[in-house]
Structure 1
């Protein structure tokens, strides 16, 4: 007779092995809420959670023997830093590497694209991102595959297909393309867009996204860099259309975020119930104060503009996109500073397409030009957790929180750019209590079952 445990192993043979219980001593615990490091901490991880934390006044690598009774691995950190796992609030997993030009990426056969998703997810996790918010493209099937342990990747919150008006940022047709469309960004097979005009179509598109597993809804509320026919300063959708979409989201206990660069497009979104703004490069003080008043969240993505302008990636984006990229690139840092000074809730975002994804961590370095380390680290931990309603589970090293953690050999509160150099400073990535990536000989990866040696 097959045991219950054996039955489940046979039913889903890809399931990872049982989680170990860890006891870490002499930890430098990075407290991202208060901006301090607690030295000589003892931390216990069990069943994918932080079970207990004890703070000590002096170093002590020897744990109480009684506390080791149910511990699989006891490790003296010798002063290494334990930091919450990172949260990137603006990614597009569907924009996979492997194509020379953006046009080829967005026209890629969906099956070919899907086979590359696992690689993209693994790379993000290896960089220290234990959670990401996909702002268009990732499917419920991918999210569930990660949750089930079939694919190694960050925790995933998905928007599904983003919503765009005809001729908006989600419409990929050129000005000489007169074909009619109902979805899919004008026929681009790997571009996840619902084209919807008028309140009834907007209601249907939003409801369809909720039906198919979207955690939030993304709209294109203004012009963008990668679309062929709209201007950056265009305002997209009407107030009535946006209000219809936000009503669907509210009725489904979630929210809407809007792609918007200018004060006009940001204000229209906020005044009609939108709670998130993506990019926001051209924001002014008045609009930033409105964001604070509304309790909205801003996700700048400055690294995408620097990457597009980098000679290493020359030729990937079309000429018309590069012209618009230059328009928003210069204003990006100033917009970030305006928002921060006003007290806006700011999240970390990258928005990198194709092979530009290798620059995902460079956002830390860019933001360090105008923001202090703590503010930047909070934008990649606590703040996005709050935005997603996960602030009692993600974003901090606290008892009862998810064991999503980074082991570092340097203090990110002193120099945030250590996070941008993982090959030098990121020793281990722990997600859900499992060692997913390790450069530290003392902690081996444990997400795969070990084979029994036969010789």
Structure 2
């Protein structure tokens, strides 16, 4: 008979030992049983106390209450005809009237005139409101935006992905139907969204941020150095947040692993940053031959490399290596801006203005760097982009900042100090869609994004707002976004 319980030193179970020796074993003595009961009681008490502590501490650890994820909306049985609207199409910086939008399946089928009849269509009367493409964030971190920095490096990986899944639906309900993920383990989240398991925006994933040792993606602490040939990878690497690569061979491996997982573009850290503790913001990262190796590996798969970098030396080195997009770059000078324009490089810029939308930095040095970048942001937006007619994308780079997520749309609206509202709206729709499609054959979505035109994906918003005046309506999506459509499916409709 199979028995369970404490073994004697000889390996017998208690009952077996008694049968063999005809003497009760010591572990069954009254003293042993009393000790066992006391330990059990103490353990239960400790578990109760720890549970109470966890309940008290959880709210302060930004562990938000759970809600059931929304179900995928059903595909409409008939074509949808949106009528009585004012159209911003994401391309022309005007608002048109006298036109309707016909959606069949997941595509925009036609833009019939308001007087044209369409048979067998379900009519959505927009009440004279604005119709516009879904918003696109070209620098997003799907799996790292809704967690704190402490959670990112201490929580179980499964928790990070559960939080990301919940935040994906919130991102969509803020009007963002597509995001270009600029670093992080977003592949599983993308698959779940594409298969309708959860709701969220389309994701163009980069995979892990490829970083040199001591670079912007090296999240190790000094007590984890040096790294030996048999040293396990850091938590950030295992979780898919970053990949450490030194030399052309390791860079090629990291790039190819991301491509194997489904990266649509590759992200490298080519310079220092504010959030990282150990790499100066003015540092230039990766040798030119290392960057060139990444570019060649990406080009072999028909796609491109984008880089995190702020300073002229790093930007110029990346361009010489063949990089096609610069993320950030707020400290660029005129010579560098001219080089970006001459080479036809995309500049993916973020509104880093050291204001209420910025993460609070813990050290005086980091806060000083924030101020320096803020001044650079004003100079780039106010002077360099327009002077050199540079191809511009917009993104937020909300990272480890769950408190900033409700203000997602405000980071568009506040840039009207530099742009005409319609020009700015065309950047966050049509321009960003063009940048997403630059991944060529690695594009998992075969259609135009960020525009309302025949053949484009049916991603559109019906909004209470006037973009000829301002974009303040994007600051309150719950109230002002009356209809949210992604892929031809209505995720929200609060029209009366």
TM-score by length of 2: 0.78
2:189 corresponds to 1:150: no
Show the 5 A alignment for 1:66-77: 67-69=118-120, 71=121, 73-77=122-126
Render the CA deviation track for 1:133-160: whole Å, top value 9, x for unaligned.
Answer: 1111133221111111111000110000
Q: Name the residue aligned to 2:215.
A: 168
The equivalent residue for 1:328 is: 373
Partner deviation per Cα, 1:429-452 (whole Å, 9 max, x = no partner): 1100111123324xxxxxxxxxxx
Indicate conservation of the 8 Å contact 1:27/1:81, yes or no.
Answer: yes
Distance 1:123 1:202, change over 3 A: same
Q: What is the CA-CA distance between 1:176 and the residue it aligns to? A: 4.8
Which of these two proteins has the greater Rg computed from alpha carbons? 2
C-alpha distance 212-181 of structure 1, shift in aligned 2 (>3 A): farther
Cα distance, 1:411–1:168 mapped onto 2, change above 3 Å: same
Structure 1: where are the runs of 5+ without partners? 1-13, 442-455
Shift of the 368–35 alpha-carbon distance from structure 1 to 2, 3 Å rule, reads same
Q: Does 1:306 align with 2:363?
A: no
The DSSP-based 3-state class of the residue aligned with 1:368 is helix
Aligned partner of 2:442 in structure 1 is none
1:51 equivalent in structure 2: 109
Q: 1:40: Cα distance to partner?
A: 2.1
Alpha-carbon RMSD across the aligned residues, in angstroms, is 2.4
* Deviation at residue 414 of structure 1 after TM alignment: 2.7
Matched, 1:428 2:483: yes
Q: Choose which of 219, 227, 231 in structure 1 pairs with 2:268.
A: 219
State the 1:112 CA deviation: 0.7
How much has 1:250 moved relative to structure 2?
A: 0.5
- State the alpha-carbon separation in 2 of the partners of residues 181 and 253 from structure 1: 35
Aligned residues: 413
1:264 is the counterpart of 2:313: yes
Asked whether the 8 Å contact 2:178–2:201 carries over to 1, the reply is yes
The question of whether the paired residues in 2 share the 8 Å contact of 1:44 and 1:50 is answered with: yes
Q: Does 1:339 align with 2:385?
A: yes
Matches within 5 A, 1:5-404: 16-20=73-77, 21-56=79-114, 64=117, 67-69=118-120, 71=121, 73-97=122-146, 99=148, 102-180=149-227, 186-188=234-236, 192-303=241-352, 305-307=354-356, 309=358, 314=360, 321-337=366-382, 338-353=384-399, 354-355=401-402, 356-389=404-437, 393-404=448-459
Measured at CA, do residues 260 and 50 of structure 1 come closer, stay the same or move farther in structure 2, by a change above 3 Å?
A: same
Query: Helix, strand or coil: the match of 1:389?
Result: helix
Following the alignment from structure 2 to structure 1, what is the Cα–Cα distance between the partners of residues 151 and 232?
15
Write out aligned runs for 1:406-445 (5 A): 406-441=461-496
List per-residue Cα deviations over 1:347-368 (Å, max 9, x = no partner): 1100112312222222213321
Q: SS where residue 229 of structure 1 aligns?
A: coil
Do the aligned residues in 2 keep the contact of 1:270 with 1:291 (CA within 8 Å)?
Answer: yes
Distance 1:184 1:281, change over 3 A: farther
Distance 1:425 1:320, change over 3 A: same
Write the distance in 2 (CA, Å) between the matches of 1:266 and 1:55.
Answer: 47
- Contact kept, 8 Å, 1:281 with 1:335, in 2: the verdict is yes
Q: Could you list the runs of 5+ residues in structure 2 that have no partner in the other structure?
A: 1-70, 439-445
